[in-house]
């Protein structure tokens, strides 16, 4: 019998009273793994009330004590990395090694959260005016919430709640309904690490539950990662309800290939960055711009892509797994079919099958050449194992092409020239740039800094920017009087 996944409310895993549930299926076989409930409004209100009550004591917990919780948590995550990866692979479809990477990149953020005392330090200056000193404190907001996508069910929740909680906030997590088992296990381990009751709640559901979170008056800040339309909805609705919002949305990431680059390494990196995780990454390279004679490498790229074999998560020969759902597969297949009338498809993975898993959501590596900028496959984030190529004569043309795209999540350039690399990283209008690095996702002591249509908000995920997002600054200006004589009323704004 398939079980219902519990909610995590007020420090306990409880069965939802909701009559509406959604199926969580294995992308390999369509086997139903569990049913995920769509939490009732009363349950969401209960979660927020519990988080609000917990905040009253948690905000007073010394930062070193919060740091020790994060140290204990990261140790448990490392101990259970393989187990978490197996859960993740079964509900998401990623290969085991890719799933381990998903978990590990989350662990790195938890390690950074363990450094929270230093990150929370304020500023001070003595004698800003005569015998007057100023200093600042960093204080938490209150109840924060995170809405996370299917493609990184470990990493992205771990981007959010550990840092928010380390800052002194409490947190409501609403993970993707397509792979919610991994986030539930993250919550179990957080409790095992010693997390006090109420500082983390896990709510399940779909748009209705998200909208209730976005409009709840006691929630102070919202973090979101997902598609462009949903990201825009989250940002608009959240800010209209006077909340602080960071919304990470879609992308169309370009790699520029210079003719002086190391050919074999460039081709290999391009293959991994474009079809790894079945292309279901917001930082995947989906467009390769070949400059000058490097266009002659496209045939080599095709042959290298042919070598990548999709398959089940637990096979060491699998290059990547199935897409997350049948609906996702049908959407990508439709875009591939449209693309065939817009560009030249030289490698078509539409009919790819895995005999042992005939019901899997399979699409093989797919490669288009001579793709025009006005085509729908160029304008749309495909989110599948599909790579588009374009040819230009100069670096300046490549930069212009990238800058004219409405998205600005990530980009990379492969070259042997420091001068070329510097020009590109200085002039390109994209928030995260890789130089001979195909997927330049920053480590968590930096921040994840998407630009343009890839991000709505002001302060980005993890790193110092996330600490600022999850906190307020209180500035104190003080003077202690000496002696008995008063200098009279100061009727100006000047400090004297």
**How many C-beta atoms lie closer than 10 Å to residue 78's C-beta?**
14
Q: Find all residues with CB under 8 Å of 389, minimum gap 6, and list them.
A: 287, 288, 289, 290, 298, 301, 367, 368, 369, 370, 371
Q: How far apart are CA 134 and CA 254, in angstroms?
A: 47
Q: Find all residues with CB under 8 Å of 262, minimum gap 6, and list them.
A: 414, 416
Q: Which two tokens stand for residue 208?
A: 């209705």
Q: Which two tokens stand for residue 93?
A: 């479809």
Q: How far apart are CA 77 and CA 114, in angstroms?
A: 13
Q: Find all residues with CB under 8 Å of 198, minimum gap 6, and list them.
A: 10, 11, 50, 51, 53, 54, 58, 170
Q: Walk across the sheet containing 124-129 and list its strands.
A: 124-129, 132-140, 471-479
Q: How far apart are CA 199 and CA 211, in angstroms?
A: 21
Q: Is 29 left (phi over 0), alpha (psi -120 to 50) or beta?
A: alpha
**How many C-beta atoms lie closer than 10 Å to residue 466's C-beta?**
27
The Cα angle at residue 143 between residues 76 and 65, in degrees rounded to 5: 45
Please return the burial class of 53, using the count of CB atoms within 10 Å of its CB with bins 0-12, 13-18 and 19+: middle
The DSSP secondary-structure symbol of 380 reads S
Q: Which two tokens stand for residue 84?
A: 């978490």
């690399």: which residue's tokens?
Answer: 421
Which residues are annotated as catalytic? 282
Q: Which two tokens stand for residue 246?
A: 């960071």
Q: Which residues pair with 143 in a beta bridge?
A: 170, 219
Q: Which residues pair with 200 in a beta bridge?
A: 171
């Amino acid at each position: 019998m398939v079980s219902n996944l519990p909610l995590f409310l007020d420090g306990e895993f409880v069965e939802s009273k909701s009559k509406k549930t959604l199926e969580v299926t294995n992308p390999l076989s369509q086997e139903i793994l569990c049913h995920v409930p769509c939490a009732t409004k009363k349950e969401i209100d209960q979660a927020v009330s519990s988080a609000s009550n917990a905040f009253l004591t948690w905000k007073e917990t010394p930062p070193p004590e919060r740091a020790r919780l994060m140290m204990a948590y990261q140790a448990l995550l490392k101990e259970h990395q393989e187990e978490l990866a197996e859960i993740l692979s079964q509900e998401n479809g990623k290969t085991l090694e890719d799933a381990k990477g998903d978990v590990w990149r989350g662990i790195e953020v938890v390690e950074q959260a363990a450094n929270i005392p230093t990150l929370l330090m304020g500023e001070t200056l003595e004698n800003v005016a005569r015998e007057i000193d100023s200093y600042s404190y960093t204080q938490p907001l209150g109840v924060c919430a995170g809405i996370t996508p299917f493609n990184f069910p470990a990493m992205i929740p771990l981007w959010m709640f550990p840092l928010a909680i380390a800052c002194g906030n409490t947190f409501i997590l609403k993970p993707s309904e397509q792979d919610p088992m991994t986030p539930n296990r993250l919550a179990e381990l957080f409790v095992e690490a010693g997390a006090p009751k109420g500082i983390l709640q896990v709510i399940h559901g779909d748009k209705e539950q998200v909208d209730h979170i976005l409009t709840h008056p006691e929630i102070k800040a919202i973090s979101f990662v997902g598609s462009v339309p949903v990201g825009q909805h989250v940002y608009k609705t959240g800010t209209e309800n006077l909340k602080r919002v960071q919304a990470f949305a879609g992308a169309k990431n370009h790699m520029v290939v210079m003719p002086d680059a190391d050919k074999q390494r460039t081709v290999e990196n391009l293959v991994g960055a474009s079809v790894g995780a079945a292309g279901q990454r917001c930082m995947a390279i989906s467009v390769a711009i070949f400059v000058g004679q490097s266009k002659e490498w496209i045939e080599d790229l095709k042959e290298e892509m042919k070598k990548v074999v999709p398959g089940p998560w637990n096979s060491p020969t699998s290059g990547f797994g199935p897409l997350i759902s049948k609906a996702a597969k049908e959407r990508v297949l439709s875009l591939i079919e449209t693309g065939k009338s817009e560009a030249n498809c030289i490698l078509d993975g539409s009919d790819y099958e895995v005999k042992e898993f005939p019901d899997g959501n399979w699409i093989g590596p797919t490669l288009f050449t001579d793709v025009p900028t006005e085509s729908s496959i160029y304008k749309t984030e495909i989110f599948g194992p599909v790579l588009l190529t374009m040819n230009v004569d100069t670096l300046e043309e490549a930069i212009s092409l990238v800058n004219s795209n409405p998205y600005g999540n990530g980009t990379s350039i492969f070259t042997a020239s420091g001068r070329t690399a510097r020009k590109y990283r200085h002039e390109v209008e994209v928030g995260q740039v890789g130089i001979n690095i195909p997927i330049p996702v920053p480590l968590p002591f930096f921040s994840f800094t998407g630009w343009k249509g890839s991000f709505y908000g002001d302060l980005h995920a993890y790193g110092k920017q996330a600490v600022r997002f999850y906190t307020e600054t209180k500035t104190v200006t003080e003077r202690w009087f000496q002696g008995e004589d008063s200098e009279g009323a100061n009727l100006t704004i000047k400090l004297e």
